[in-house]
Chain A
Amino acid sequence: MTEDCDGEEKDEETRRWSPGQGGSSSRGGGSGTSSSSPLKNRCVRGRVDQPPPFSGQVLENVLENVLQFLACRRDRNAASLVCRSWYRAEARTRLELFIGNCYAVSPARALGRFRCARALVLKGRPRFADFNLVPVGWGARFSPWVAAMAAAYPWLERVCLKRMTVSDADLALLARSFSSFRDLTLICCDGFGTPGLAAVAELCRNLRVLDLIENDVEDEDEEVVDWISRFPETDTCLESLSFECVNCPVNFVALEALVARSPCLRRLRVNQHVSVGQLRCLMVRAPQLTHLGTGSFETVPVADGAAELDVAELESSFVASKSLVCLSGFRMVAPEYLPAIYPVCAGLVSLNLSYAMTTAEQLKPVILRCHNLQTFWVLDTVGDEGLRAAAKTCKHLRELRVFPFEATEDSESAVSDAGLVAISEGCQKLRSILYFCQRMTNAAVVTMSKNCQDLVVFRLCIMGRHRPDHITGEPMDEGFGAIVMNCKKLTRLAVSGLLTDKVFEYIAKYGKLVRTLSVAFAGNSDLSLRYVLEGCHKLQKLEIRDSPFGDAGLLSGIHHYYNMRFLWMNSCKLSLRGCKEVAQRLPRLVVEVFGDQNKELDSDAVEKLYLYRSLVGPRDDVPSFVKIL
């Protein structure tokens, strides 16, 4: 190692990132390896201008060239641990920055280490925020990140955000700051509306992907902006446009024109304000589509009695769309239109009917044609019978999600253990299942564990709390136990129903690969938590609600919390004393407690706990109802 390199190491470790220094090299020689260079290979090209490099730098050159081929972030993390030279080389060649918890690291630090990244994947709130368990205003704002990137990454191309709060101003800054920006994907985010979308449409001239998935797009009715019209008038490079979650109507004329001038468009998912007649127009314009979100899939009743779209006409549109592999939407599907999709069923790889109240009878003719289906999302209105039909045909099914039509604890659900057994027998290649039901048996779950050995994700939600096996009356321990025992590739598990400590003993003993575990209304005592924290060595994300786990259980995980992304617990038996102890013993852990907002934060009981490792200590945007210990 040369002196230069030594000096550089120290600099990197102690220096705080500042915009002025962004990109300027601390490497010996101060060559033009910085942000101003062209995109590809700039880091390596820069070196050519230097005086003949020392052997250490030759090695780093070579290393960088090799590491460019390494894409998987886990491999990259491993490579960066080899030695300082590899650390630097890896940092310079990492193109995609994945940050699983936006508070685990600060923008300054992340951008300071990885200077050449072109893509950012950022996740914010814990998953239970989807179910209103995280109070509004908790955090996870995109603003500091976009501000930092605007200065540090002018070549940024892709951003994917999940559960973050993104404001219209953030979107506007994003659109203005990055000239090569091409992909924006927002999943389960909030805080923005149509003005932000308009900015993106207008200013991102190279936009290829605009995917808005399950976001909370709030607009004052008076302030809705016609963002579709803001796309450039010329041919666009759009490949994917998804706006199913945007709740306000869009300007259809503009949309149709946009589709017509987007020759590369392959994925189009419209919102429920697009009628089936309008959909047909769009399909005519874009017969090359591979992914289609159909919007409402019903005719808007027209006052002047204009003719409704004929099913045959609609079917002909589907005949013409020969490339369709993925269908979704069907937000208000009129059952008589469903047969129109028959022509494409044989080619479908993914079908999402989870907004359509289809009965088994309506589903059967569709599903029996879908031999190649790998992903299937459906409502429980199809019942066990519908699932049987799916099991009969879809031999290649990899992912199944059965959502509840009536998501309450005492609703009547048409799916049960029988459906689960049918699926397990018919779809033995199943890898991922999410199943909502009211009645389940251990036997059915055991059967699935034996038939579907490839299961990686098993999420069973018995909606009635503490509900046992409906035939034997026993807890559901044995069923879930069989899953962890038999499905050796399992990495994600969500349990429900009546469960004792036993199931956690099973999970600890057999679930050695489990990374994500969701627990609700389960267990008897701290033993459960102890089992899991001591036994599941790969556990990264643990989310628990309404289970009788207290401080003793919490403290049993002290050895493991640094290896985890986060632990979430709400409505358990935690106390402030226990949480404080964890915070004290693990200084690199951020321990957030928050209660319901109408309670004093001083009371000893902790209603909600969220703890996560962090390189930068407590965050500075803590709202009033959160206390960091």
Chain B
Amino acid sequence: MEEEFTRGEGRPRLLDLIPNGRDWGSYAAAEEKKLELRLGLPGGEDWSAGQEKREHPVESALSLDHISKVRKSTNVNASSGTKRGFLVQVEPKTEGILIDNMTFQQQQLQQQQLGFLQLQAKGKESLQKTSGSAEQQSLEGKGCGPHAAHASSTKNAAVAHTASQSRAAATPVVGWPPVRSFRMNLAGTAKASAESHNGSSEAAKKLENDRKSLFVKINMDGIPIGRKVDLKAYDSYDKLSLAVDELFRGLMAAQVDPLAPSILKNSEEKHVLIGLLDGSGEYTLVYEDDEGDRMLVGDVPWDMFVSMAKRLRVLKSSDLSASSLRAVGRKRTSNS
């Protein structure tokens, strides 16, 4: 079980058993087929090995958030909220909309699927809290009946609710759909510019915030090549910091001596850019807001940061006092 954790990227990977689609009724066949294709024998390797590599969106089947979304939209688009498939039936009795479209058999099917999902759920947080129940499930055998699934799913649902709520928006899989990054922002940029032309800058801002991805430039001192990061792909400063470290580690390694044979590379494998956020490391992460002011990353709540940050920079900590950081001096002295 632990192997599966480490192989993941720290993001829970749940299975997308139920095909994305709008018409539940017609998908019964496909669903069953999917079950056939994806499931190995109970306890078989195919099951776990096959799934751990997939970077599925994180919407948890356990996410009550999604279920509430489903309730809001009452027409055909209801199913768009369920595109992640397995989000649905936690409490069959309470799922008014979708139950109507389905036969009892299909519900059973989905509950079974849910059951399997519980067992294979790899979310660190949810599993830490529910590992007891999950193990119990596996002891009982993976062919859990609907009842067992139901019971565990309600437990897990409650527990994982808060965890998955923050991940309610799709965690994008890297590089999918396969369009280049300058096409990714098309929707947001175009809408925002259209709106701002019409004079409603507030609407433009709101549209920008609704974008599914938000690529901002990030530059590092001493490295001529800048990169772009998608702020919407992270939900906390720590994750961003980790990503920035990964991003530039490769560049720094290349920078050192691009043409010489890699003699000492092994020693550089550990993280280089630590302490980006608290000023303790060699480098510090700053951002520029829409007014062009440079600010220290980490002071404002994450969501506010995402909406304000236009550009990121990784500066040498020793350069901080020399740069035009606003309120840095004040903040640092107040913290120390």
The chain A residues found within 8 Å of chain B, CB to CB, are 128, 130-133, 135-138, 141, 143-144, 165, 167-168, 190-191, 193, 214, 218, 220, 245, 301, 332, 354-355, 357, 379, 403-412, 436, 461, 463-468, 470-475, 498, 500, 520-521, 524, 545-546, 548, 550, 571-573, 596-599, 601, 603, 605, 607, 620-625
Q: Is B190 an interface residue (CB 8 A)?
A: yes
> Which 6 residue pairs spanning A and B have beta carbons closest together?
A131-B175, A137-B250, A473-B30, A624-B265, A137-B254, A218-B226
B249→A466 contact, CB < 8 A = no
- B179: chain A residues at CB < 8 Å are 131, 403-404, 407, 436
Do the beta carbons of A136 and B187 come within 8 Å of each other? no
Is there contact, CB below 8 Å, between B37 and A409?
no
Are A410 and B224 neighbours in the complex by a CB distance under 8 Å?
Answer: no
Q: Is B26 an interface residue (CB 8 A)?
A: yes
If A131-B174, A218-B226, A406-B187 touch, whether A623 touches B53 (CB-CB below 8 Å) is no
**B332 near A: Cβ within 8 Å?**
no
Asked if B143 is at the interface of the complex by the 8 Å CB criterion, the answer is no
Tell me whether A406 and B212 are in contact (CB under 8 A).
yes
Residues of B within 8 A of A598 (CB): 9, 242, 246
Q: Does B57 contact A (CB under 8 A)?
A: yes
Complex: A472 Cα to B306 Cα, angstroms: 42
Q: Is the CB of A624 within 8 A of B54?
A: no
**A407-B183 contact in complex given A135-B250, A136-B251, A473-B27, C-beta closer than 8 Å:** yes
Distance in angstroms between the alpha carbons of A597 and B57 in the assembled complex = 20
CB pair B190–A357 under 8 Å, yes or no, is yes
Contact of B250 among A190, A597, A620 (CB under 8 A): A597
B6 in contact with A467 (CB, 8 Å): no
Shortest distance from the beta carbon of B41 to any chain A beta carbon, whole Å: 14
Cα distance A63–B200 in the bound complex, in angstroms: 72
Tell whether B330 is near chain A: CB-to-CB under 8 Å. Answer: no
**Contact between B224 and A473 (Cβ–Cβ < 8 Å)?**
no
Q: Is B225 an interface residue (CB 8 A)?
A: yes
Residue B253 CB within 8 A of the other chain:
yes
Contact present for A472 and B258 (CB under 8 Å) = no
Given A355-B186, A407-B177, A624-B253, answer yes or no on A572-B20 (Cβ-Cβ < 8 Å): no
Distance in angstroms between the alpha carbons of A127 and B98 in the assembled complex: 41
Assess whether B246 is in contact with A620, with CB atoms less than 8 Å apart.
Answer: no
* B6 cross-chain contacts in A, Cβ below 8 A: 599, 603
Contact partners of A357 in chain B: CB under 8 A? 186, 190
Docked CA distance A548–B16 (Å):
14
| Shortest distance between the CB of B275 and any CB in chain A (Å) | 17
Tell me, yes or no, whether B181 is within 8 Å of chain A by CB: yes
Determine if A468 and B30 form an interchain contact, defined as CB atoms under 8 angstroms apart. Answer: yes
Q: Chain A nearest CB: distance from B175 CB in Å?
A: 3
Q: Are B258 and A520 in contact (CB under 8 A)?
A: no
Asked whether, in the complex, the Cβ of B247 is within 8 Å of the Cβ of A596, the reply is: no
Which of B20, B22, B29, B258 contacts A466 (CB under 8 A)?
A: B20
B50 touches A136 (CB 8 A): no
> For A605, what are the chain B residues with a Cβ–Cβ distance below 8 Å?
7, 53
Do B225 and A218 have beta carbons less than 8 Å apart? yes
**In whole angstroms, how far apart are the Cα atoms of A520 and B179 in the complex?**
13
- The reply to whether the CB of B80 lies closer than 8 angstroms to some CB of chain A is yes
Shortest CB–CB separation between residue A380 and chain B, in angstroms?
A: 11
> Please, which residue of chain B has its CB at the minimum distance from the CB of A191?
B225
Pick the residue among B28, B54, B190 that contacts A571 (CB under 8 A). Answer: B54
Chain A residues positioned under 8 Å from B54 (CB to CB): 521, 546, 571
Instruction: Indicate if B197 sits at the interface (CB-CB under 8 A).
Output: yes
Contacts A466-B20, A605-B7 known; A408 to B262 CB distance under 8 Å?
no
Query: Considering only CB atoms, which chain A residue lies closest to B186 in the complex?
Result: A405
Task: Give A438 Cβ to nearest chain B Cβ, in Å.
Answer: 8
B174 / chain A contacts, CB cutoff of 8 Å? 131-133
**Nearest chain B CB to A139 CB, angstrom units:** 8
| Chain A residue at minimal CB-CB distance from B269 | A624
C-alpha spacing A179/B52, complex, angstroms: 56
Chain B residues at the A interface, C-beta cutoff of 8 Å? 6-7, 9, 16, 19-23, 26-30, 33-34, 37, 46, 49-50, 53-55, 57, 80, 83, 170, 172-184, 186-187, 190, 193, 197, 212-213, 217, 219, 224-227, 242, 246-251, 253-254, 258-262, 265-266, 268-269
Q: Most chain-A CB neighbours within 10 Å: which of B174, B193, B265?
A: B174
- Among residues of B, the one whose C-beta sits closest to the C-beta of A335 is B194
Given contacts A354-B183, A355-B186, 16 further A-B contacts (CB under 8 A): A130-B178, A135-B250, A218-B225, A406-B187, A407-B179, A409-B20, A411-B212, A467-B19, A473-B28, A473-B30, A498-B30, A546-B173, A596-B246, A605-B7, A620-B262, A622-B262
Q: How distant is A76 from chain B, measured CB to nearest CB, in Å? A: 31
Contact of B262 among A461, A498, A623 (CB under 8 A): A623
Neighbouring A residues of B182 by C-beta, 8 Å: 214, 245
With known contacts A461-B177, A498-B30, A408–B212 Cβ distance under 8 A: yes
Task: Output the nearest chain B residue to A136 by Cβ-Cβ distance.
Answer: B250
Q: Which residues of A contact B34 (CB under 8 A)?
A: 466, 498
Bound-complex Cα distance A465 to B251 (A): 32
Asked if B197 and A623 sit within 8 Å, CB to CB, the answer is no
Residue of A nearest to B251 (CB): A137
Contacts of A473 on B, CB cut-off 8 Å? 19, 21, 26-30
> CA separation between A626 and B57, bound complex, in Å?
27
If the complex has contacts A403-B179, A409-B83, are A620 and B55 also in contact, measured as CB distance less than 8 A? no
In the assembled complex, the Cα of A407 lies from the Cα of B34 at a distance in Å of: 25
Which A residue sits closest to B219, measured CB to CB?
A: A220
**Neighbouring A residues of B224 by C-beta, 8 Å:** 167-168, 191, 193, 218
Residues of A within 8 A of B183 (CB): 354, 403-404, 407
Q: Are A131 and B212 in contact (CB under 8 A)?
A: no
Q: With A596-B9, A625-B250 as given contacts, are A332 and B190 in contact (CB-CB < 8 Å)?
A: yes
Instruction: Report how far A545 CA is from B261 CA in the complex, Å.
Output: 30
Taking A191-B225, A406-B212 as contacts, is the C-beta distance between A546 and B53 under 8 angstroms? yes
Determine the chain B residues whose CB is within 8 A of the CB of A136 once the complex forms: 225, 227, 247-248, 250-251
Known: A190-B225, A410-B80, A466-B16. A461 touches B268 (CB 8 A): no
Please indicate the chain B residues that have their CB under 8 angstroms from the CB of A467 in the complex: 19-21
Beta-carbon nearest neighbor of B54 in chain A: A546
Q: How far is it, in angstroms, between the C-alpha of A471 and the C-alpha of B26 when the chains are bound?
A: 8
Q: Which of B172, B178, B265 is the one whose CB lies under 8 Å from A461?
A: B178
Q: How far is the CB of B128 from chain A (nearest CB, A)?
A: 19
Complex Cα distance A509/B307, Å? 52
Query: Which of these, A132, A465, A603, A620, contacts B181 with CB under 8 Å?
Result: A132
Cα–Cα distance between A494 and B227 once the two chains are bound (Å) = 28
Which residue of chain A has the shortest Cβ distance to B49 in the bound complex?
A573
B37, B181, B268: the one contacting A524 at CB < 8 Å is B37
B residues less than 8 Å from A141 (CB atoms): 258-259
Say yes or no: A546 contacts B268, CB within 8 Å. Answer: no
- Given the complex, which residues of B lie within 8 Å of A623, measured CB to CB? 250, 253-254, 262, 265
CA distance A131 to B184 in the complex (A): 11
Chain A contacts for B28, CB-based, 8 A: 473
Instruction: Pick the contact of A603: B7, B30, B213 (CB < 8 A).
Output: B7
- Residues of A with C-beta under 8 A to B219: 218, 220
Q: Which residue of A lies closest to B213 (CB)?
A: A408
A546-B54, A573-B53 known; A621+B180 contact, CB < 8 A: no
Query: Taking CB as reference atom, which chain A residue is nearest B265?
Result: A624
Task: Please indicate which of the listed interface residues A131, A436, A607, A620 has the most CB atoms of chain B within 10 Å of its own CB.
Answer: A131
Q: Let me know if A407 and B7 touch, CB within 8 A.
A: no
B117, chain A: closest CB distance, angstroms: 15
Q: How far is the CA of A470 from the CA of B83 in the complex (A)?
A: 13
Q: Complex Cα distance A464/B53, Å?
A: 18
The reply to whether A573 and B27 contact each other, CB–CB distance below 8 Å, is no
Which chain B positions have C-beta within 8 A of A468?
A: 19, 21, 27, 30
14 contacts across the A-B interface (CB closer than 8 A): A131-B176, A131-B179, A132-B174, A193-B224, A218-B219, A461-B177, A475-B30, A500-B37, A599-B7, A620-B260, A620-B262, A623-B265, A624-B249, A625-B253
